[in-house]
Amino acid sequence: MKKRNSSFVLLFTIPALAFVASSGCKNQNSTVTSSDTIHVKSNVTLNIPDFNADSAYSYIKTQVAFGPRVPNSKAHEECLQFFIHKLTQDSLTVTVQRSSARTFDGKTFDFQNVIASSQPKNPNRIVLFGHWDTRPFADEDSVEPMKPFDAADDGGSSAAVLLEIARHLHNIPANIGIDLVFLDLEDYGQEEQDGNFPRMQDSWCLGSQYWAKNLPQNYTPRYGILLDMVGAKNAVFPMEGTSMHFAPDIVNKIWNIAAQMGYSNSFTRDITGQTTDDHLYINTLAGIPTIDIVDYRIVKSADGANEGNYPYFHHTHADKLDVIDTNTLKMVGNLLMNVIYSEKAGAPQA
C-alpha cells in the first residue's frame, strides 16, 4: 500500500462516474439482522455461509511462510502456485494475466495478476480486488530500510480474505457472477520524497494499470471493491477520498450495510483525502466504479480537517503476523459475504 497523498487532488477532467440507481436505493424492508443472515424484501431469508477468520488467518500465515512476495523472487512464484492451486480447488475459473513492467528505479519485473471467477459467462457481475505482492524495501523503518518485510497485512490480508471468500462462491445462486482479482506489482512505487531517481509518473499499481487496460471483451462489471490492509488489530476503515470522488453511492451502500451489522465503530463516516491505490486506475482507465476498503487511521489537523495516518507498521518490518487480528478479518469477511449475498438475491441496497 502506497497512499501517502492525504491531500491528493485528482488531475483528471473525467467526472465522477454515475452509479446505477438500483444499487443506491435504500429499502426500508431490507435489513441485516446478524453477521451471517440477511432478510430481503421478498421475506426470503438467506443463510450466508460463515466467513471463517481462522481459515483466512491460515492463508496469511502460508503467504508469510513463503517469505516476502517480491516479484521475480522464489517466494513470489511459490505464492503464485499456491493461489492457482487453491482457487482451482474451489471450482473457480482461474486465469493468470502475465506481463512485465519497468519500475521507477529502472528495473524490469515480471508480474502475474490472478483472476478467479464464478459464473464466468454471466454478464451481471461484481469484482473484488486485492494486491498480493510485497514491497521490496521497508523504507518507513529506521532499521534495515532496504530489506523486504513480511507484509502480513499489507498484501497478505487482502489476498487471504479473497481466498476465504473463494471457498463459498460455488454455493451461491447464479443471479450474478463474482470475479476475484489478485493484483500484482502494486507496492513497488516511488515515494514522493525519493530524490534518488528521476520522477516517474504513475509508478504505483503497475499490475492494476495493466489489468485496467487489458479487459476481456464486453467486460462491464457493475462495480468493484478493493481491499487493502484489512487484517490488523483496531483497524479503522473511513470513507476513502478517491472512492468518494468516483463512487460515493457504492461507499454509502456498503457503509450502511456495515452499520446495520454493528460495525460503525470500525467503518466510520470520516472522509479522508484522495489517495493513490489500485482503484484509482480501475476507475480512470477501466471505467469501473470501484471503492477502497483500507485501514487508514484518522487524525485531525490544526484546522480540524481529516488527515490520514497509516498504522505504525506500514512499510516496516513490524508488519508481521502478530499485527493480524482474526476479529478484523471476520468483520471484513462477513461484510463482503453479506454484500455478495444481497446482490445474489437482488436485494435493494442502502
Per-residue pLDDT tens for 239-292?
A: 999 999 999 999 999 999 999 999 999 999 999 989 999 999 999 999 999 999
Per-residue pLDDT, 306: 63
What proportion of the chain, given as a percentage, has pLDDT over 90? 75
| Cα distance between residue 151 and residue 229, in whole Å | 9
**Inter-residue contact 218 to 247 (CB < 8 Å):** no
Name 100's bridge partners: 110
| Cα distance between residue 85 and residue 221, in whole Å | 25
Place of cell 513497488: 188
Per-residue pLDDT, 6: 41
Task: Indicate whether 308 pLDDT > 80.
Answer: no
Cα separation values, 17 from 47, 223, 290, 348, Å: 33, 11, 10, 20
| Cα distance between residue 197 and residue 220, in whole Å | 38
Per-residue pLDDT, 251: 98
Pairing of the two strands 297-300 and 224-228: unpaired
| Cα distance between residue 146 and residue 47, in whole Å | 48
Grid cell, residue 191, equals 515515494
Cα separation values, 96 from 156, 180, 215, Å: 19, 12, 13
Place of cell 471476520: 330
Residue 302 pLDDT class (50, 70, 90 cuts): confident
Torsion angle defined by CA atoms of residues 133, 331, 35 and 90, in that order, rounded to the nearest 10 degrees? 20
Per-residue pLDDT tens for 84-121?
A: 999 999 999 999 999 999 999 999 999 999 999 999 99
Of the ranges 8-17, 168-177, 183-192, which one carries the lowest mean pLDDT score?
8-17
Per-residue pLDDT tens for 19-34?
A: 332 333 322 222 333 3
Per-residue pLDDT, 45: 57
Task: Indicate whether 42 pLDDT > 50.
Answer: no
Per-residue pLDDT, 49: 87
Task: Indicate whether 200 pLDDT > 80.
Answer: yes
Task: Indicate whether 350 pLDDT > 50.
Answer: no
Torsion angle defined by CA atoms of residues 307, 313, 314 and 315, in that order, rounded to the nearest 10 degrees? 150
Residue 8 pLDDT class (50, 70, 90 cuts): very low
As a whole number, the mean pLDDT across the chain is: 86
**Inter-residue contact 75 to 67 (CB < 8 Å):** yes
Alpha helices in the chain (DSSP H): 53-66, 74-89, 156-166, 206-213, 241-246, 248-260, 278-286, 326-344
Name 125's bridge partners: 177
Pairing of the two strands 290-294 and 224-228: parallel
Cα separation values, 31 from 43, 45, 303, Å: 10, 11, 38
Of the ranges 57-66, 169-178, 235-244, which one carries the lowest mean pLDDT score?
169-178
Q: Kindly write down the DSSP assignment for every residue of 273-317, as one continuous string.
A: PB--SHHHHHHHHH---EEEEE--EEEE-TTS-EEEE--TTTTST
Residue 170, burial from CB neighbour count under 10 angstroms (0-12, 13-18, 19+) = exposed
Residue 172 pLDDT class (50, 70, 90 cuts): confident
Per-residue pLDDT, 307: 65
Region 185-208: mean pLDDT is 94
Name 178's bridge partners: 118, 126
